[in-house]
């Protein structure tokens, strides 16, 4: 969407991938320099409000979530704000716990919408990019897509549209994907482990995944997984093994999906439409690493939608009390029951109404590769 290029050219092959040089799986990186190719918004004076890859960017204005980290493991939530609009002074602290985790909800989208409206009115940029994440939350939690959630984000978007109208800006609504109903978690790394391809190490904080020692490891990302296979002679064996796993629709070389980029796995695994892939690699929940039961998007070697759920409010309250009185604590309130997840994405939609969309003036593009040219035509 940023470049008009396929992933084989722009290099963003998922929300995370295996960095082969360091043998680390890293998710949710923010550097714009990870994107290869020209970014359409850099041709304009742009305000980039919470769109991803929002550091090391050439956008004129912007804001993005960025906590402060203490040497003792503590974390203070904050945003990077290079709008000169004093957003937290005007709106109060960004509601980080409503941006991701069990408390994720409309408060974060409301804050972003109000911040965007302020920037648009005060700076009047040529182009404003505003990310409202609200529908990503309950549509992964719930069996049904609640129209009340749509109404909530519609009200937030309305405040951005009001500001756009005041500065005579055209409005485009864009979404990269639609969430579909799922009810089957698939544990690819457990299959690889049971067949001798994956290595772990038991320690005082649970089992650790030894990525450098793995012959094959799956990096799970919703309904798609990159499988990295160390020895090329094992690729066919691993592919055959995974094709037989219930919930797997296809195992293909990355070139078939325009994913043939050095960051991609040797194999791409696609889920059945009602299934999704966990990152879980332990066989017994008693051996799960300590971070598995916490919100820890950077430590987990895969996407974990269970972070949207909570095991017990009483447990969370007890942990917050420990924090308040200065005790060491671990916010271990995230369930390991992957069957809780009810929505996912990553596959081509059977119904176009369930897939990516662009709504705006003129003739919106048929797919996302045409999005930059479409925006250019409006400016």
Say which CATH number the domain at 213 has: 3.30.1360.110
- pLDDT computed for residue 71 by the predictor: 87
Structure confidence at residue 351 as a pLDDT band (50, 70, 90):
confident
- pLDDT computed for residue 38 by the predictor: 95
Query: Is the pLDDT score of 218 beyond 60?
Result: yes
- pLDDT computed for residue 186 by the predictor: 99
| Mean pLDDT within 280-297 | 96
Same domain, residue pair 170 and 198: no
| Mean pLDDT within 196-200 | 98
Query: Is the pLDDT score of 328 beyond 90?
Result: no
In tens, the pLDDT along 52-109 reads 999 999 999 999 999 998 887 778 899 999 999 999 999 999 999 999 999 999 999 9
Q: What is the pTM of this model?
A: 0.94
In tens, the pLDDT along 232-256 reads 999 999 999 999 999 999 999 999 9
| Mean pLDDT within 311-323 | 63
Same domain, residue pair 94 and 197: no
Separation CA 242–CA 191 (nearest Å): 8
Average pLDDT score over the chain:
94
Same domain, residue pair 218 and 144: no
Separation CA 63–CA 134 (nearest Å): 17
CA torsion angle 312 314 318 320 (round to 10): 70
Radius of gyration, alpha carbons of the chain: 21
What are the structure tokens assigned to 84, written together?
């000169």
Same domain, residue pair 137 and 193: no
Same domain, residue pair 122 and 214: no
- pLDDT computed for residue 188 by the predictor: 99
In a domain, 73, yes or no: yes
SS (H, E, C) the chain: CCCCCCHHHHCCCCCEEEECCCCEEEECCCEHHHCCCCCHHHHCCEEEECCCCCECCCCCEEEEECCEECCCCCEECCEEECCCCCHHHHHCCCCHHHCCCCCCCHHHHHHHHHHHHHHHHHHCCCEEEECCCCHHHHHHHCCCCCHHHHHHHHHHHHHHHHHHHHCCCCCCEEECCCCEECCEEECHHHHHHHCCCCCEEEEECEEEECHHHCCEEEEEECCEEEEEECCHHHHHHHHHHHHCCCCEEEEECHHHHCCCCCCCCCEEEEECCCEEECCCCCCCHHHCCHHHHCCCCCCCCCCCHHHHCCCCHHHHHHHHHHHHCCCCCCCCCCCCCHHHCCEECCCCCCCHHHCCEEECCCCCCCCHHHHHHHHHHHC
Separation CA 153–CA 237 (nearest Å): 46
Separation CA 301–CA 290 (nearest Å): 13
- Burial of 113-127, coded b for 16+ CB within 10 Å and e otherwise, reads bbbbbbbbeebebeb
Same domain, residue pair 293 and 253: yes
- pLDDT computed for residue 105 by the predictor: 97
- pLDDT computed for residue 311 by the predictor: 84
Same domain, residue pair 280 and 157: no
> How many independent structural domains does the chain possess?
2
| Mean pLDDT within 185-198 | 99
In a domain, 16, yes or no: no
Most confident of 8-22, 71-85, 357-371: 8-22
In a domain, 30, yes or no: no
Same domain, residue pair 188 and 146: no
In a domain, 13, yes or no: no
Residues 6 or more apart whose Cβ sits within 8 Å of residue 146: 138
- pLDDT computed for residue 31 by the predictor: 97
Same domain, residue pair 54 and 159: yes
Domain containing residue 315:
184-344
Separation CA 338–CA 248 (nearest Å): 16
In tens, the pLDDT along 22-57 reads 999 999 999 999 999 999 999 999 999 999 999 999
Same domain, residue pair 339 and 192: yes
Same domain, residue pair 254 and 369: no
In a domain, 190, yes or no: yes
Same domain, residue pair 134 and 270: no
Helices 147-166, 106-123: crossing angle, 10 deg rounding? 10
C-alpha separations of 224 from 277, 346, 347 in Å:
7, 6, 7
Structure confidence at residue 269 as a pLDDT band (50, 70, 90):
very high
Query: Is the pLDDT score of 318 beyond 80?
Result: no
Query: Is the pLDDT score of 327 beyond 60?
Result: no
Please, is 201 exposed, middle or buried when counting C-beta atoms within 10 Å of its C-beta (0-12, 13-18, 19+)? exposed
In a domain, 106, yes or no: yes
* Block residue for tokens 């396929």: 6
Angle at 131 between CA 127 and CA 136, to 5 degrees: 155
Q: Which one, of 290, 332, 328, 335, lies nearest residue 315 by Cα? A: 332
């Amino acid at each position: 969407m940023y470049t008009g290029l396929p992933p084989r050219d722009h290099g963003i092959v998922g929300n995370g991938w295996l960095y082969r040089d360091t043998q680390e799986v890293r998710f949710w990186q923010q550097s714009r320099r990870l994107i290869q190719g020209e970014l359409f918004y850099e041709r304009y004076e742009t305000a980039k409000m919470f769109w991803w890859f929002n550091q090391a960017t050439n956008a004129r204005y912007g804001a993005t979530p960025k906590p402060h980290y203490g040497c003792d493991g503590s974390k203070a939530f904050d945003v990077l704000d290079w709008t000169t609009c004093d957003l937290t002074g005007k709106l109060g602290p960004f509601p980080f716990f409503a941006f991701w985790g069990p408390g994720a909800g409309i408060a974060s989208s409301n804050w972003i919408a109000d911040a965007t409206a302020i920037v648009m009115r005060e700076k009047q940029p040529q182009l404003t990019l505003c990310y409202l994440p609200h529908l990503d939350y309950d549509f992964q939690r719930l069996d049904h897509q609640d129209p009340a959630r749509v109404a909530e984000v519609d009200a937030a978007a309305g405040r951005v549209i009001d500001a756009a109208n005041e500065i005579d800006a055209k409005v485009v609504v864009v979404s990269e994907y639609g969430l579909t109903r799922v009810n089957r978690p698939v544990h690819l790394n457990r299959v690889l482990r049971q067949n001798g391809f994956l290595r772990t190490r038991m320690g005082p904080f649970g089992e650790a995944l030894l990525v450098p020692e793995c012959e094959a490891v799956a990096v799970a990302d919703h309904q798609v997984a990159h499988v990295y296979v160390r020895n090329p002679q094992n690729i066919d064996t691993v592919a055959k093994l995974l094709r037989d796993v219930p919930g797997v629709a296809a195992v293909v070389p990355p070139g078939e999906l325009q994913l043939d980029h050095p960051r991609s796995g040797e194999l791409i695994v696609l889920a059945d439409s009602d299934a999704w892939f966990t990152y879980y690699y332990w066989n017994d929940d008693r051996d799960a690493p300590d971070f598995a039961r916490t919100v820890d998007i950077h430590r987990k070697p895969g996407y974990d939608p269970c972070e949207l759920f909570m095991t017990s409010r009483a447990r969370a309250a007890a942990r917050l009390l420990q924090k308040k009185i200065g005790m060491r604590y671990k916010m271990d309130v995230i369930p390991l029951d992957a069957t809780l997840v009810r929505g996912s994405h990553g596959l081509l939609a059977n119904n176009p109404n369930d897939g990516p969309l662009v709504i705006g003036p003129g003739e919106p593009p048929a797919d996302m590769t045409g999005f930059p040219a479409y925006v250019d035509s409006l400016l």
